[in-house]
Amino acid sequence: MFYLILLFVGIFISACAQKPASVDLSRLPAVITNPAKYNPLQPNEARVILQQGTEYAFSGAYHDYKKDGIYICKQCNNPLFRAADKFDSGTGWPSFDDIIEGAVKELPDEDGSRTEIVCANCGGHLGHVFRGEGFTKKMTRHCVNSVSLNFVGQENPKKKSNPDGVQPIAEYIKGKGYEKYETAIFAGGCFWCTEAALDRINGVADVISGYSGGSEKYPTYEEVGAGNTDHAEAIILYFDPQIVSYETLLDVFFTAHDPTQLNRQGPDVGRQYRSAIFYQNEEQETLAKNTIEQLNKSGKFDKPIVTELKPYEEFWVAEAYHQNYYELHPENPYVQRVSRPKVEKVKKVFSEILKPEFK
């Protein structure tokens, strides 16, 4: 049983999020270590921080807050959480799937059924931690009262480049000779899965993982994964229309993921994992609409398709370590348990149009 628990947790901890977000603590207020000098608290703040109270759901200032920065302890200024680790759990309280190392302590709750979290510096009550709920791949939700926190925004000057390789698709393909191909842009959950599935189809010259659908320039994986942008994890395909049609690629896309799940795919929850088609012209829009209508009428799915149809604006190539991830990391538990079944399903359904090396 212990082995199974470790394996289950490992599947999701080892998933898409491979690199922690960096934390710039240089601009934060000094941490107060002398209790006599702690920041003064209002009565509603003291009720939560000192008396282990709980604010009403959806009443706090930060439950739906999406700015980039650091959340610190209201009582002592200790840096606790990164905005990049914040996600929308729908519970009405700020939720984080990670902490700044060493900043938060866990204590058995008096009720015996929950785990309390407190500031490691001053002991102020923050909330509770829950595990195994499936909101994110880290399988952890630090449920925090907004009144226990202050927020310090991080400067985010206009980025001209990204050291991890995030760049506009036009820069990425420059000099590759891809002008002869047509393109398709899909989003269907974790891009490790969709990239590998669509790349097995004959006529597809290249599939690139990235981000699309939002307005943020040079989005990072941490920002997208935390829901701090409106981008979705997406893929862009370069294909030869003489070999495979856009309509066929739509069929593969709708096989490679579940288009009836709203703002999630299996264990991956949030709008960043939504099902979406970013069409580039009227013909692609019409084909997508017709395909969805036919699938809804066919009874293939037991629920209506919720795939978003949106005009294409820009595609940002994801960090280099995400490209070709399925092929390079077959040992990854997430790849084995989540990605592989999707890829194998596509291979089975579309066996007649696979690339020779995948038959």
Encoded tokens for 68 = 């980039």
26-35, 74-83, 123-132, 282-291: least confident range: 26-35
CATH number of 167-358: 3.30.1060.10
State residue 161's pLDDT score.
56
In this predicted structure, the answer to whether residue 276 has a pLDDT above a threshold of 70 is yes
In this predicted structure, the answer to whether residue 20 has a pLDDT above a threshold of 60 is no
State residue 1's pLDDT score.
39
In this predicted structure, the answer to whether residue 10 has a pLDDT above a threshold of 80 is no
Closest CA to 28 of 118, 154, 126, 145: 154
Active-site annotation, residues: 143, 190
Encoded tokens for 86 = 């914040």
**In CATH, which superfamily holds the domain spanning 25-153?**
Peptide methionine sulfoxide reductase. (2.170.150.20)
CA atoms within 13 A on the CB side of 78: 26
Contact 94, 86 (CB under 8 A): yes
Considering the chain, what is the average pLDDT of its residues? Answer: 89
* pLDDT grade for 19, boundaries at 50, 70 and 90: very low
Structure pTM? 0.60
146-193 confidence digits (pLDDT tens): 999 998 876 554 444 565 789 999 999 999 999 999 999 999 999 999
The domain segmentation of the chain, as residue ranges, is 25-153, 167-358
Closest CA to 197 of 335, 356, 343: 343
In this predicted structure, the answer to whether residue 221 has a pLDDT above a threshold of 60 is yes
